[in-house]
Amino acid sequence: MSALILETRGLSKHFGGLRAVSDISLQVAPREIHAIIGPNGAGKSTMVNLLSGHLRPSSGQVIFNGQDITGLAPNKVSHLGVGRSFQRTNIFPSFSCLENCMLAAQSRMKNSFRFFRRSDSYPLVRARAEKALQACGLSSKGHSTASSMSYGEQRQLEIGMVLATEPSFLLLDEPMAGMGKEESSRVVELLAELSRDYSLVLVEHDMDAVFSIAKTLTVMVNGQMLASGPLERVRNDPAVQEAYLGDGEEQF
Amino acid sequence: MHALPRPIQLLLALLLLLMAAYPLFGASLAGDRHDFYLQQLTSIMILAIVALGLDLLVGVSGMVSLASAAFFGMAGYALVLFAPEYEALSIWVALPLCLGVTALAALLMGVLIIRTSGIFFIMVTIAFSQMLYYLFHDASFAGGSDGAYLFMKPEVAIAGVQLLDLENRTTLFYVVLASLALLFVLLRTFLRAPFGRVLLGIKENEQRVRAMGFNPLFYKLAAFVIAGTIAGYAGMLSATQYGFVSPGQLSWQMSAHILVMVILGGMGTLFGPILGAFAFEGLHHWFASLTPHWELPMGVVVIAMVLLLPRGIAGLLLQLAQRKATKSAEVPLAGTIKQEAEQ
């Protein structure tokens, strides 16, 4: 196994007396899909926020590509190549799809203090945005206003915007949240494709989806890591079976 | 920011033409009152410039500022206090002076307050404006509550050759009209460029803008400085027009009037606040001629507008233009379908 792309060491986040995340050490190798699963309240979203810089950890470290990024602001983390998507659709509703992706692509220019030339006349911005739209399957919807699209399409756009920032690593917070079977299988396909080019951490509720694409798995319960490792091993771990998987899916 | 619908482009061009034509025909139309109207229109356009700048904050970036009057007044004071008593100040000194003072003030104020948002941002902008208001109100060097006079208007000359005579009311009218039109075009250009896209993104979803790798604070600060400087430019024009500045020009009530212009006109459209300035001042004059308590009927109008037309005059116009566009689009669309069917 080559060097790790992402690693956390004893990562913890406390909100007052609540240990939302405690002492999580996980390792993600390049070009793998690493899934984090766990019941509601397990601390998955907090975990994502710690990794993307939206929250500052109480203790522990986040190491990305060998660099300590603990406590860096989200915009700086983004510039290091971490592309994050959100659990609740987080797009610019009045912008068209293309404009959503162009704004994301624009973030890779040195700065956006450019006042005179139209943003869509920067070839690099436009090309990246169009490429991202294609990758997320929305090429034909470029000029549709984001708010007028279906929920599933908005979720796709959410991923497209992440891709337009040309990340080297994807951090996806429940990309299939609230989707129907058909829509979510389309996203699973998309993720499988993306995993050829990107390393990916996926927080997800949808177990079928996770088991069909993830290579490694971390199971969280009550802010703690129950198990972490290759999918098959974790899946068959007796502790995981008992605490989480064995009870069936009605838990969610 | 998308291209304006054709009918609105035409409307704005027509209004610009009418304004430009007014000094030519005003004397025969309005007779004795021509000069008064000319002055009123000039001062309304000056306020429209402030409203235009404020829209960049309120409508475009979502920052409600009540400090526009502070920058407006400050630039006026800068001009009056710096100008020698018996000699005209060159515009090449006056312009950088007024713009520089307001830009610097906006930058300093902005650095301190840009991290706040919502109601807190409104409150600190009021607090800063009131500090400046009392500074000039109580300052003996600036004439205190009586204000101060500008005896000679700035001189626009190159190598001793006078280009424009700002003492001439018609000339000043055209200078203000041209400034308003150019600033409108300039801000629209900004909004289509990367800078404006980030501002529009911040208004819709600041958290996402940050997650994409922008630091929103820098862009908000830049918008604050640009809006402040535009207000300062208007303040310089106003001091030039009236040859007089008073602390009242810095008061937060004045800022509130500008904000009402933006809201009446339609936030975030840029052309709306310009129309809003005319609507507000028009109603102001009309109500003031009926009752000394003109703010009372004005308040009713504002409440009615917000309830009935939350997107302001511009929103109404855009809606009308849209309806017309969909109607006329139906016919050619049917034609294309037929064509396609034939193929």
Q: What confidence tens digit (pLDDT) does each residue in A3-26 have? A: 889 999 999 999 988 889 999 999
Residues A121 and A64 in one domain: no
Other Cβ atoms within 10 Å of A232 Cβ, number: 11
Looking at the complex, report in whole angstroms how far the Cα of residue A73 sits from the nearest Cα belonging to chain B. 9
CB contact under 8 A, B198 and A74: no
Cβ of B198 and A93 within 8 Å?
Answer: no
- State whether A226 and A160 are in the same domain: no
Q: Does residue A173 sit in the same domain as residue A220?
A: yes
Nearest CA in chain B to A54: B211
Asked, for residue A181, whether it belongs to a domain, the answer is yes
Residue A246, pLDDT score: 55
Q: Which residues pair with A202 in a beta bridge?
A: A35, A172
ipTM over 0.90: no
Pair (A174, A152) in one structural domain? no
Contact A234, A225 (CB under 8 A): no
| Domain assignment present for A157 | yes
d(C-alpha B196, C-alpha B193), whole Å: 6
pLDDT at res. A147: 92
B165–chain A nearest CA distance, Å = 31
Q: Is residue A139 part of a domain?
A: yes
Q: What pLDDT band is residue A1 in, cutting at 50, 70 and 90? A: very low
- Cβ <8 Å between A78 and B212: yes
One domain for residues A71 and A180: yes
- A–B: how many Cβ contacts below 8 A? 88
CA distances from B252 to A212, B65, B68, B134, B240 (A): 62, 10, 8, 11, 22
What is the value of pTM for the model shown? 0.90
Distance CA B178, CA B16 (A): 9
Select the CATH number that applies to the domain covering B6-342 from these four: 1.10.3470, 1.10.287, 1.20.1440, 1.10.260.
1.10.3470
Chain A CB within 8 Å of residue B311 CB? no
Question: How many Å lie between the alpha carbon of B253 and the closest alpha carbon of chain A?
Answer: 32
**What average pLDDT does this structure show over A82-106?**
92
B14, exposed or middle or buried, with CB in 10 Å at 0-12, 13-18, 19+?
Answer: exposed
Q: Are residues A67 and A172 in the same domain?
A: yes
Indicate whether A70 and A175 sit together in one domain: yes
| Average pLDDT estimate for B163-172 | 91
CB A169 within 8 A of CB A81: yes
Closest residue in A to B193 (Cα) is A118
Shared domain for A235 and A198, answered yes or no, is yes
Contacting residues of A for B318, CB less than 8 Å apart: none
Shared domain for A18 and A67, answered yes or no, is: yes
Are A77 and A172 members of one domain? yes
B156 to B45, B49, B88, B273, B296: CA distances (angstroms): 20, 21, 10, 29, 42
What pLDDT shows up at residue B335? 43
The Cα–Cα gap between B324 and B233 comes to 38
* Smallest Cα distance from A61 to chain B, Å: 20
Q: What percent of chain B has pLDDT over 90?
A: 74
Q: pLDDT tens for residues B206-246?
A: 999 999 999 999 999 999 999 999 999 999 999 999 999 99
| pLDDT tens per residue across span B255-306 | 999 999 999 999 999 999 999 999 999 999 999 999 999 989 999 999 999 8
Q: Which residues in chain A are contacts of B211 at CB distance < 8 A? A: 52, 54, 74-75, 78, 84, 86, 90
Q: What's residue A245's pLDDT?
A: 56
DSSP A144: S
- Check if A154 contacts B (Cβ < 8 Å): no
Question: Is residue A86, in this structure, part of any structural domain at all?
Answer: no
* CATH code: domain of residue A24: 3.40.50.300
Same domain, A60 and A45: yes
Our count of domains for chain A comes to: 2
Quick one: average pLDDT of B157-161? Answer: 84
Residues A53 and A41 in one domain: yes
Mean pLDDT for chain B overall = 90
Last residue of a domain, one of A129, A148, A167: A167
The average pLDDT across A99-119 equals 92
Q: How far apart are CA A167 and CA B139, in angstroms?
A: 56
- Domain boundary, last residue among A137, A167, A197: A167
Closest by CA position to B18, among listed B45, B47, B46, B36: B45
Residue A48 lies in a domain: yes
Please answer yes or no on whether B219 and A112 come within 8 Å at the CB atom. yes
Tell whether A140 is covered by a domain: yes
What is the C-alpha separation between A171 and B175, in angstroms, rounded? 54
> Which 3-state string (H, E, C) describes A217-229?
EEEEECCEEEEEE
Domain end call among A167, A200, A220: A167
**Can you give the residue range of the structural domain that contains A123?**
91-167
